[in-house]
Structure formats: C-alpha cells, structure tokens
A = this chain, B = another copy of it.
Amino acid sequence: MTVHAGPGDPHRPRAPRWDAPEPSRAGRGARSGPKPGLSVDAIVSAAIAVADAEGMAAFSMRAVGERLGRTAMALYTYVPGKDELLALMHDRALAELPPPAPRSDDWRAAATDWAEQLYACYLRHPWVLRLPPARPALGPAELAALESLLSALAPAALAPARLRGAVAALRQYVRGAAAATADASGDQLDGFAPDFAEHFPLLTALRRDPGGAPGNEDGEAFRAGLAVLLDGIAAS
C-alpha cells in the first residue's frame, strides 16, 4: 500500500510510520527519542477489540487509547486520524479470510465456501459493514479475497463479462445479507397495523408458509439466496 504520509507532508508532521513497518529503522541516520511503547498493529488490534466488544457506537479514539493504557492523543503518533485507523481495521478484519483453497473442479463448492467464510467474517465484525466511505482504494486483504473468489470460479470458465457479473453479485450479495443479519432488525414485520394482511397479501402468504428450519433462520435465508445466485452462474 504505502500510503506514506511521510515527514515531507507539511500537514501531518507526526505519524512517522503510518501503514507499514518501515522496512528497517534506517530512514535517516537521525533516529532517536524514547522507544515506542505502541505500534500500529497493536493499535489496530485494540481498536478491533473495542469495536467487536462495544459496537461501533461506543468506538472512539479515547476508548482505544484507554484499552492500551494511553490517552487518545497518543494514538496520533502512530496513525494520522480516525478514518485511517478505520481503514486499517477494515483490512485487518478481512485478513482473517483463508488463502485461496487449492484448485478444485467443483467451483460451486468452492464459491459456496468462499461466500460462507466472508459472511461469517462480516458477522464476527459487523462494524465493518458500517464504515464510512472515505477510503480511496481497496485494501490488500480485500483484493486477496477477490482473487480468491476468482480462483474458486476459474473452473467454471465464464466469459469475462459474465465473470464480472458473477463476482459483483456474489460480493454484494454476501455483504448485503450480512448487513441484514447483523442489524438484527432482520425481517421483523409483525406487530403492525391490524390491516397488515390486507395491505401486503403476498408477504403475508409467504410468511405463513411452513418456512425452512426453525432456528438459524438468517443462515438459512443466506444459503437460499446464495443457491439462487449460484444457479445463475451455472446457467451461463
């Protein structure tokens, strides 16, 4: 990545090593000052711990600092601001995804696996689905996930345009479904006006139908939608 808000940037004179471990410590002969007590990695870990445990609403620079026994301002030595920290968190979360599985001819199983891994990752870190849009480019882990999906779909030998469509559909579907599941609002449509059934007859009918499994409803819905999608890919 190397976003490099280096010391040349007059706007951000702090933050000597933003974003990368700065190969060695040999930038200039000048290195001095007290040993760093923190690191970008440690801050990102603490930040993810806060977001996972307390939710995004309770996430703040102060909260992250506190978890590390520092003040909020101490973080600014390592990270230029909250937005950049969020971007690092995002990519770190996606880095939990497994590397591309060894090539298999069963693209359907491979794609299913990919989708379920990503879905589970989003549910482990639901705050990812709520990050602000500022980041200018995809992070390395997100790129790796895309590459992984392409590798899973390779045996299907789709035409390029079709492949683009399939990737977009899978990626966005998983994200949307995870967002729906995470916002437990889900499809809670009871307790409404008394004329609910009148206004929404088809919804009511679908609702009354002997649904799928009783528990784990969200997971079931996710898999059902995924199956439809994969059928579409298969139909190419």
Contacts and interface: CB of A to CB of B under 8 A. Distances in A.
A183 B136 CA distance: 9
Given A172-B180, A176-B176, A224 B164 contact: yes
A179 to B, nearest CB: 7
B137 A191 contact: yes
Nearest to A137: B188
A95 interface: no
Interface string A144-175: 10110011001000001111111111011111
A8 interface: no
Interface residues of A, number: 73
Nearest to A232: B232
Contacts of A136: 185, 188
A132 B154 CA distance: 37
A109 interface: no
A150 B236 contact: no
Contacts of A151: 202
Contacts of A143: 189, 199-200, 203
Contacts of A210: 160
A68 interface: no
Interface of A: 1-2, 57, 130, 132-133, 135-138, 143-144, 146-147, 150-151, 154, 160-169, 171-177, 179-180, 182-185, 187-193, 199-203, 206, 209-212, 221-236
